[in-house]
Amino acid sequence: MKRYITICFALMLSASFTRADLTEAQSKKITQAVGRLISQIHYRQTGLTDEIAGHHLDRYLNLLDFSHMIFLQSDVEALTKKYGTSLDDHVKMGNPRPSSEIYALFIKRLTERQQWVDEILKGKFDFTKKERFLTVRTKEPWPKDNAAARKLWHSRIKLEVLNDILALDKRDTGKADPKKLAESRKKISRRYERLLKRMKDNGRDDKLDLYLSALTRAFDPHSDYMSPIDAKNFRINSIDMQLTGIGAVLTTDEGYTKIVRIMPGGPAGKSGLIHANDKIIAVKNPGDKEATDLLDMGINDVVQLIRGKKDTIVELTIIPAGKSESKIIKITRDVVKLEDSLAKAYIIERKVNGKTEKLGILNLPGFYSKCSDHCRTLIERLKKEKVDGIVIDLRMNGGGILQESIKLTGLFIDLGPVVQVKDYQGKNKVLGDTRRGIVYDGPLVVAVSPMSASASEIVAAALQDHGRAVIVGTETTHGKGTVQQILPLNRRIFANLGDDSGQLKFTISKFYRINGSTTQRLGVLSDVELPSVFEHLGMGEAELPRALEADKIKKVTYKELNRVEPFLTSLRKSSAKRVKEILEFNYINEDIVRAKKRLTDKTVSLNEAERRKERAENKTRIETRNKERSGRKQPAEKYFEIDVKGAEADKPLKKLAAPKPKIEKADSPPVPQDDSNTFTLDATLRETLDILSDYIRLRDVLPNVSRRE
């Protein structure tokens, strides 16, 4: 239920924890400590107020009932009247009564809903009616009474039954196995029985975890309370370097386990079966008679289910991003090689106007420790190979270490500010490149997407403000301009809290660009914009509840190189012309139309004939695209790769085979695949290279403009 991110690896050594339930006295002290600390040191500096109480209650109710189908509107109104402006006072006193009362009401309502599920499943469904069900209800009102709630639950169960009918009849024969359909209904019933049991079995520590997480998120979406078990898992995942599993970063979002990012080189990434924003709804391990449903399961319990020994198979039931139907995939667990997550470089060699052109790509999946040193090594090798220009690919880079982003920026500028950081006390600090010299002074393009966040946005913004690089990608990046810090609650300054008191993650400061604006909510606007489905999926920071506001501070003094602005009009015009002529971008634009429709209409048809028609149309569309792709004439190009170890040892470039044409599947997610560790040339990256090529030629035509500083 928590929107909490963890890395889903399984440790080589078995890790199990005994959950010692907290005493009431411990819970009270932890509640008081978290309330006092978050109100004093969080960036908002609002204190525990009546306003925070309202947000706290809202977050808590939504963590418990994300789909607004369990509580009634009268429940919410009564709780709001009682606690909407007083929850802050109860937190200050460490009073557990509100949390216990709300949770007890939640269990009562959930018990009633579970009984409804069994009753509904005994009846018949008419799949010929023109009905639709709204699957995303987080912003919808709670049902006004039991009759309205019962109607909602009938539609929800009807959807689950229809999904199973379609899954059991993929060839659209209209004749699914009756025995399997009967078992499907039993499975749905067991799903809600397990959900109720899991919620009833939650101990005081689980309930406190939820309650305090709701409190921290009343301040902003990135603050969190990490329970003792969360903290232990966090420490193990941070320290142990021998990891096995599927290699994925997970979060819980609205009751679902969702993929945040696929780790490059891991089993999940290599399989190509699962992608960012897919939802995992069930897990089946060898020896299990049936899959375990993950709906509303805590993230640590999910991790324990997905963990396992090397070479064992885990069966995952997933709902691909942007889809409503589920499918089952199998992934073989393996060691996740950390070196596969390191920076890599590629060279594309081709003929342009009769002249050989070499373009370099520097792919950086994340800002890990020493990544700037690795990038320096790779850039030096690209220079040795005499590349004409470089693309830094940050499209799947969600951020990382702040100092590394500053060092990376410093490879392309000779001294100067990179980013401003303002803390919760209002103190502003300017951080910048203090190392004299430029590693690479040639044509530079930075590729970005809505997945480019935090440290990636710092690099893109700084190079844009300095006039050093062309930013190419979606309209804007993710928009995360905040800094979090983790504080263990067992420090001596918090008397008598004990070792099992957990940790507090809180937002302590905010990033600002050197021009005074912020990346928070706004992201970094691309200089040359390319169409992408990504920006129409509602994934940005601005979509998160209680995200910090965008504002401005004073601009700092820095030297603007002005190497980009004189060429932007020409670059945009040439790119726009190509995009109109490239068939792959036509496909992207078609997908954007569908994505926009999904954003405005998040309902799913409960009519079987309509759903089968939608599936058939989707299959035809994909098959037509794949046939066209397979018949394309591939460009005459050469491709090379060099990794950090190879560059350090001065090994020869590794020649690569030409990337294969994209093969789309009928159930493929609408979001681009994270190919951070695989050499691919999708339409976006190829167009980015063409923009770099244009930039190189324009600089050659107007050398004085490109060097004016």
CATH number for the domain that contains residue 653: 3.90.226.10
Note whether 347 and 305 are same-domain residues. no
Alpha helices for 129-177 (secondary structure H): 146-167
Mean pLDDT, residues 52-64 taken together = 97
d(CA 432, CA 426): 19
For the cut 80, the answer to whether the pLDDT of residue 235 exceeds it is no
Using the predicted structure, report yes or no on whether residue 289 has a pLDDT greater than 50: yes
CB neighbour class for 611 (10 Å; exposed up to 12, middle 13-18, buried from 19): buried
Neighbouring residues of 487: CB distance < 8 A, sequence distance ≥ 6:
37, 503, 504, 505, 506
3-state class (DSSP) for residue 284: strand
Antiparallel, parallel or unpaired: β 389-393 and 444-448: parallel
Position with higher pLDDT, 650 vs 14: 650
Looking at the domain assignment, is residue 375 inside a domain?
Answer: yes
Q: In the prediction, which pLDDT does 691 show?
A: 98
What integer best gives the mean pLDDT of the chain? 88
Are 171 and 78 in a shared domain? Answer: yes
Residue 21 near residue 203 (C-beta atoms within 8 A): yes
High-pLDDT (> 70) share of the chain, %? 88
What's the pLDDT score for residue 272? 81
For the ranges 6-10, 229-233, 414-418, the maximum mean pLDDT occurs at 414-418
Of 294-303, 563-572, 573-582, least confident by mean pLDDT is 294-303
Task: Return the exposure string of 134-161: e unless at least 16 CB atoms fall within 10 Å of the residue's CB, then b.
Answer: eeebeeeebbeeeeebbebbbbbbbbbb
Q: Kindly tell me if the per-residue pLDDT of 49 is higher than 90.
A: yes
Is pLDDT at 17 greater than 60 in this prediction? no
Residue 34 lies in a domain: no
Q: Which of 304, 338, 372 is the last residue of a domain?
A: 338
Q: Identify residue 396 by its one-letter amino acid code.
A: M
CA–CA gap between residue 393 and residue 400 (Å, rounded): 15
373 within some domain: yes
- Quick check: is 491 in a domain? no
DSSP 329-380: EEEE-EE--GGGGS-EEEEEEEEETTEEEEEEEEE-S-B-TTHHHHHHHHHH
The reported pLDDT for the residue numbered 178 is 87
In this prediction, residue 9 carries a pLDDT of: 27
Token output for 66? 């994300």
Which neighbouring-strand residues pair with 133?
604
Both tokens of 358, joined, read: 């070499």
Per-residue pLDDT reduced to its tens digit, 389-410: 999 999 999 998 999 999 999 9
Q: Is residue 75 part of a domain?
A: yes
Active-site residue 465, yes or no? yes
Considering only CA atoms, which of 630, 500, 516 is closest in space to residue 208? 500
167 and 254 part of one domain: no
Exposed e or buried b per residue across 260-279, where buried means at least 16 C-beta atoms within 10 angstroms of its C-beta = bbbbbbbbbbbeebbbbbbb
Is pLDDT of 539 > 90? no
Give the residue-averaged pLDDT of 188-201: 91
Q: How far apart are the first and last CA of the chain?
A: 53
Two structure tokens written together for 633? 């004439």
Question: Does residue 574 share a domain with residue 458?
Answer: yes
DSSP letters, 516-583, are S---TTT--B-SEE---GGGGS--SGGGSTTPPPP---PPPP-----SSGGGHHHHHHHHHHHHHH-H
Average pLDDT for 181-203: 91
- What are 142-190's pLDDT values in tens digits? 999 999 999 999 999 999 999 999 988 878 888 878 898 999 999 899 9
- 227, 454, 509, 575: the catalytic one is 454
Confidence of residue 673 (pLDDT cuts 50, 70, 90): low
Residue 709: predicted pLDDT: 45
Look at residues 279, 171, 300, 284 and name the one whose alpha carbon lies nearest to residue 229.
Answer: 300
Shared domain for 332 and 394, answered yes or no, is no
- Judge if 214 and 257 occupy the same domain: no
Residue 37 lies in a domain: no
- Under DSSP, is residue 60 helix (H, G, I), strand (E, B) or coil? helix
386 near 443, Cβ under 8 Å?
no
The alpha carbon dihedral of 216, 217, 219, 220 has a sign of positive
Name the band, by pLDDT with cuts 50, 70 and 90, for residue 238: very low
Q: Does the structure show a pLDDT above 60 at 252?
A: yes
**Residue 662: per-residue pLDDT:** 81
Question: Can you give the pLDDT at residue 218?
Answer: 98
In contact, 46 and 39? CB cutoff 8 Å: yes
Q: What is the pLDDT of residue 302?
A: 82
pLDDT given at position 495 = 54
Q: Per-residue pLDDT for 322 more than 70?
A: no
Name the residue with higher pLDDT: 108 or 2: 108
* Mean pLDDT calculated for residue range 588-606: 93
| SS3 label, residue 217 | helix
- Whether 139 shows a pLDDT value over 70: the answer reads yes
Please tell me the predicted confidence (pLDDT) of residue 13.
22
Of 480, 509, 690, 694, which one is the catalytic site residue? 480
- In this structure, is the dihedral angle defined by the CA atoms of residues 514, 515, 516 and 520, taken in order, positive or negative? negative
**pLDDT for 656 beyond 90:** yes
> With left for phi above 0 and alpha for psi between -120 and 50, is residue 350 left, alpha or beta?
beta
Higher-confidence residue of 145 and 205: namely 145
At residue 316, does pLDDT exceed 70?
yes
Q: CA triplet 566, 383, 707: central angle to 5 degrees?
A: 25
pLDDT in tens, 333-377: 887 665 667 899 999 999 998 899 999 999 999 998 899 999 999
Number of H helices, E strands in the chain: 20, 23
Q: Are residues 530 and 601 in the same domain?
A: yes
Same structural domain, 550 and 681: yes
Measure CA 543 to chain center.
13
How many CB atoms sit inside 10 A of residue 585's CB? 18
Closest to 208 measured CA to CA, from 468, 34, 462: 34
State the CB neighbour count (10 A cutoff) for residue 627: 9
Report yes or no on 149 lying in a domain.
yes
Q: How far apart are CA 368 and CA 400, in angstroms?
A: 6
- For residue 70, pLDDT beyond 60: yes
Per-residue pLDDT tens over the stretch 540-568: 999 999 999 999 999 999 999 999 999 99
Q: Give the residue ranges of DSSP H helices in 129-262.
A: 146-167, 178-201, 204-217, 228-239
Residue 579 banded pLDDT, cuts 50, 70, 90: very high
12 pLDDT exceeds 80? no
Average pLDDT over residues 414-423: 96
Domain range for residue 159? Answer: 47-218
In the chain, the number of structural domains is 3
Do 287 and 362 share a domain, yes or no? no
What's the CA angle centered on 442, arms 407 and 480, to 5 degrees?
40
pLDDT given for residue 475 in this prediction:
96
* Catalytic hit among 465, 500, 675, 690: 465
Q: Is residue 602 part of a domain?
A: yes
- What's the rounded mean pLDDT across residues 517-530? 97
